[in-house]
Structures are given as C-alpha cells and as structure tokens.
C-alpha cells in the first residue's frame, strides 16, 4: 500500500529525515514512536504530500506519488489527521464531516453512516468549538473516514485526551481497521501505541532505527535507551 524509499528532508541545517525507508501493507497498523524532533510528523507530511522531500520516493497503492500534490494524494486515498485539530470551529459536526473534498461528490448518506458508526450522531448539530477535545478528535477521524481512505495517517491523535477519551479513540481505531486499509499511528503514548499496532517503528534524530513487532520494540535496548526508558531502573531509583 505504502512504500517510503530512502526519504530525506532538511530544514536549513536540520536534518529532519535521513534516508528513511518503510513499507506498510494493507491491513497493517504501524506505530511510529520517537522523542520530540525525531521526524515523525515530517514523515507523515512527506507521505501526505504536505512537504517536498529532498531525496527518495513515496509509492502509494502501486503508483509513484513523489511530487504529487497533497489534494491529489487525498483523492487517491491518503487520509490524515493533524497534530493540531483542524475543524471549522463555527460549523456543526455534520457540516465539518460533510465538507466537500476535491474530486469527490458529497454523499450525505455516507456522512450520516460514518457519524453513526463513530458514535457522533448525537453531536451532529453541535458546533465544533463547543465539543470536548476527545469528541473533536473523533470528528476529525470521521471527516477523514467519510471518503473511505486506503491509508490513514494519524498524527498524535491522543494529544490532550483524558483516559475515557483515549478509550473512545481506541474503539474508533478498531472500527477503522480493515484488511484493505493501512494505518500509520504517531503518538507519544507508547503503551497505547504498542497495545494497538501490528508493527512498531522507532525514529530518533531523523533516522528509522527499529522496525519490528511490538515485543521486539518493547524489549529492544535501543528503544529503552533512546525513548521508552527502563521500567526496572525507574522502579529502582
Ligand atoms: N517547518 C519546519 N521548519 C523548520 N524546521 C522544522 C520544520 N518542521 C520540522 N522541523 C524540524 O525538523 C525536526 C523534526 O521535526 P518533526 O516535527 O518531524 O518531529 P516529531 O518527531 O514529529 O516531533 P514531535 O514529537 O515533537 O511532534 C525537528 O528538529 C524540527 O524542529
């Protein structure tokens, strides 16, 4: 579904991505972990077409999309959410989800179905700015899923959510899983990420250092040292 090959991106002197390669198959949920500034959001931007990369290529659904604009990637089936929620605050939940997309006919029946599926029907007429943070996140997810994307990129979806809201998000994540869809999840809540993904990657300073099963990442020395911490040491100190 997605093949990132040797992608590099620098901002001035900062090397945000350094020869990153990653392939994601249909049905996979891949977690991207790493400390602040590791390059996770930059990688999401590179796949969504929000930035131009310096080197490398991105292939999606069998076609090379390097250099293809973001709206065209979205039309072909790349959906994403943003670190900062981007709803129109003065529009209702329904209207936010029903917002027209390039190259797609508005299908209000589909909007209703998605709102229903994600437990948002009772919020449909509420203005986005009046929603709790957790519901805003779900609306963002619904807005992405209404066009039935083949690839969903979730950039820090748990930021600012409470425990109950995280549970709601987890339910939504299970719903959006499908054998035909790939999901890439970036978040700092490593225990959550490692509990829901089928595979996890660790990025540090623009490089992808690890790509493995959840247990491989949990038990890896490099992950503990650079990001996850060592529970034994923490308990001892
Ligand atoms: N638009 C930009 N202009 C300049 N530097 C940038 C820009 N975007 C990202 N960077 C830099 O690139 C590096 C990678 O940033 P990125 O946001 O991708 O990391 P991240 O892993 O998503 O971090 P976080 O977990 O804090 O969101 C950082 O050093 C960041 O300061």
Query: Which CATH number goes with the domain that contains 203?
Result: 3.40.50.300
Residues 6+ apart with CB under 8 A from 76: 60, 61, 63, 65, 68
The answer to whether the beta carbons of residues 48 and 80 sit under 8 Å apart is: yes
What tens-digit pLDDT sequence spans the chain (237 residues)? 999 999 999 999 999 999 999 999 999 999 999 999 999 999 999 999 999 999 999 999 999 999 999 999 999 999 999 888 889 999 999 999 998 766 666 788 999 999 998 989 999 999 999 999 889 999 999 999 998 999 999 999 998 888 888 988 899 899 999 999 999 999 999 999 999 999 999 999 999 999 999 999 888 888 888 777 654 444 443
- 231 is a domain residue: yes
Q: The whole model's pTM is what?
A: 0.91
Cα 91 to ligand 1 centroid, rounded to whole Å: 30
Look at residue 161 and tell me if it is in a domain. yes
- Predicted local confidence at residue 104, as pLDDT: 65
Pocket test for ligand 1, best of 37, 82, 193, 207 (most atoms within 8 A of CB): 37
In a domain? residue 53: yes
pLDDT at 10: 97
* Residue 57, both tokens: 């290529």
Pocket test for ligand 1, best of 42, 43, 46, 193 (most atoms within 8 A of CB): 42
Q: What is the pLDDT of residue 102?
A: 62
User: What residues make up the domain containing 60?
Assistant: 2-84+148-236
Q: Does a structural domain hold residue 103?
A: no
Establish whether residue 9 lines the binding site of ligand 1, counting it when its CB lies within 6 angstroms of any ligand atom: no
Helix, strand or coil, per DSSP, at residue 154: strand
Flag whether 122 is in a domain. no
Flag whether 140 is in a domain. Answer: no
Shortest-distance atom of ligand 1 to CA 44: 18
Give the chain's domain count: 1
Whether 37 lines ligand 1, by a CB cut-off of 6 Å, is: yes
- Does 71 sit in the ligand 1 pocket, CB within 6 Å? no
End-to-end CA distance of the chain: 45
Is residue 182 a part of any domain in this protein? Answer: yes
Distance CA 206, CA 190 (A): 18
Residue 99 maps to a domain:
no
Give me the pLDDT at residue 11, please.
95
The interface predicted TM-score (ipTM) is: 0.96
pLDDT at residue number 90? 95
């Amino acid at each position: 579904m997605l093949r990132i090959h040797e992608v590099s991106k620098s901002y001035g002197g900062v090397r945000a991505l350094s020869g990153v390669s990653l392939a994601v198959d249909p049905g996979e949920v891949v977690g991207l972990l790493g400390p602040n500034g590791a390059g996770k959001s930059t990688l999401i931007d590179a796949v969504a077409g929000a930035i131009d990369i310096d080197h490398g290529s991105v292939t999606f659904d069998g076609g090379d999309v390097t250099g293809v604009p973001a709206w065209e990637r979205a039309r072909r089936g790349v959906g994403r959410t943003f670190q900062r929620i981007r709803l129109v605050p003065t529009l209702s939940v329904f209207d936010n989800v029903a917002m027209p997309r390039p190259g797609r006919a508005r299908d209000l029946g589909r909007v209703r179905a998605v709102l229903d599926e994600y437990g948002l029907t009772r919020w449909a007429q509420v203005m986005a700015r009046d929603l709790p943070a957790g519901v805003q996140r779900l609306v963002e997810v619904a807005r992405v899923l209404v066009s039935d994307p083949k690839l969903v990129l979730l950039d820090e979806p748990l930021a600012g959510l409470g425990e109950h809201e995280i549970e709601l998000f987890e339910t939504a994540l299970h719903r959006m899983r499908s054998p035909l869809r790939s999901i890439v999840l970036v978040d700092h809540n490593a225990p959550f990420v490692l509990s829901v993904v089928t595979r996890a990657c660790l990025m540090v300073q623009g490089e992808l250092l690890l790509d493995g099963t959840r247990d491989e990442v949990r038990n890896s020395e490099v992950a503990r040292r650079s990001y996850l911490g060592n529970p034994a040491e923490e308990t001892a100190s």
